[in-house]
Chain A
Amino acid sequence: MANHESTYRPTSSIGKWMDARLPVARIMHAQFVDFPTPRNINYLWTTGGLLTFFLGVQIATGVVLAMHYAPTAADAFNTVEHIRRDVNFGWLMRNLHAVGASMFFLAVYIHIARGLYYGSYKAPREVLWIIGVVILLLMMATAFMGYSLPWGQMSFWAVTVITNLFSSIDSIVPGLGTRIVQWLWGGFSVSGTTLTRFFSLHYLLPFVIAGAVGLHIWALHVAGQNNPTGLEIKTASDSVPMSPFAVMKDIFALSVFGLLFAWFVFFLPDYLGHPDNYIEANPLSTPPHIVPEWYFLPYYAILRAIPNKLMGVIAMFSSILLLVFIPWLDTSRVRSAKYRPIYKWFFWLFIISVVALGYLGSKPPEGAYVVWARVFTAYYFLHFLVIMPIVGVTENPAPLPRSITESVLGKGAAPAREAAPLGR
Chain B
Amino acid sequence: MQREADLASHSAEEPTRRDFIVIAAQAFAGVGAALALWPFIHQMNPDASTQALASTEVDLSPVKEGQAITVVWRGKPVFIRNRTPEEIKKAVEVKVSDLSDGSARNDDLPDRAPATDANRTKKGHENWIVLVGICTHLGCIPKGQGLNDARGDFGGWFCPCHGSHYDTAGRIRKGPAPRNLEVPPYGFTSDTKIKIG
Which chain A residues have a beta carbon within 8 Å of chain B's beta carbons? 157, 160-161, 163-165, 167-168, 171, 174, 182-189, 191, 193, 197, 283-286, 288-290, 304, 307-310, 312, 364-366
Contact = CB atoms under 8 A, between A and B. Distances in A.
A164 B50 contact: no
Interface stretch (B7-15, B40-48, B88-96, B114-122): B40-48
Nearest to A192: B75
A338 to B, nearest CB: 42
Contact of B44 (A163, A189, A197, A307): A197
A171 B141 CA distance: 21
A366 B163 contact: yes
Interface centre among B77, B139, B178 (most CB of A within 10 A): B139
Contacts of B137: 164, 309
Contacts of A189: 74-76, 134
Given A164-B138, A188-B50, 14 more contacts: A164-B139, A182-B45, A185-B46, A187-B50, A188-B76, A189-B74, A193-B50, A197-B44, A284-B77, A289-B160, A308-B176, A308-B178, A309-B138, A364-B163
Given A164-B139, A171-B178, A188-B50, A283 B44 contact: no
Nearest to B41: A183
B127 to A, nearest CB: 24
A184 B74 contact: no
Given A284-B70, A290-B161, A309-B176, A186 B139 contact: no
B140 A157 contact: yes
Most chain B beta-carbon contacts within 10 A, residue among A182, A286, A309, A365: A286
B125 interface: no
Contacts of B139: 160-161, 163-164, 167
A354 to B, nearest CB: 22
Contacts, number: 82
Nearest to B160: A288
B64 interface: no
Which 7 residue pairs spanning A and B have beta carbons closest together?
Answer: A188-B74, A189-B75, A164-B139, A286-B140, A161-B138, A286-B141, A160-B139
A167 B182 CA distance: 14
Interface in B42-100: 44-47, 50, 70, 72, 74-77
A184 B44 contact: yes
B44 A187 contact: no
A188 B161 CA distance: 21
Contacts of A284: 70, 72, 77, 141
Nearest to A185: B46
Contacts of B111: 174
B91 to A, nearest CB: 24
B146 to A, nearest CB: 10
A366 B134 CA distance: 21
Contacts of A160: 138-140
Contacts of A193: 47, 50
A315 to B, nearest CB: 13
Nearest to A159: B139
B195 interface: no
8 contacts: A182-B45, A188-B74, A189-B76, A283-B72, A283-B75, A289-B161, A365-B162, A365-B163
Contact of A161 (B45, B47, B76, B140): B140
A240 B170 CA distance: 69
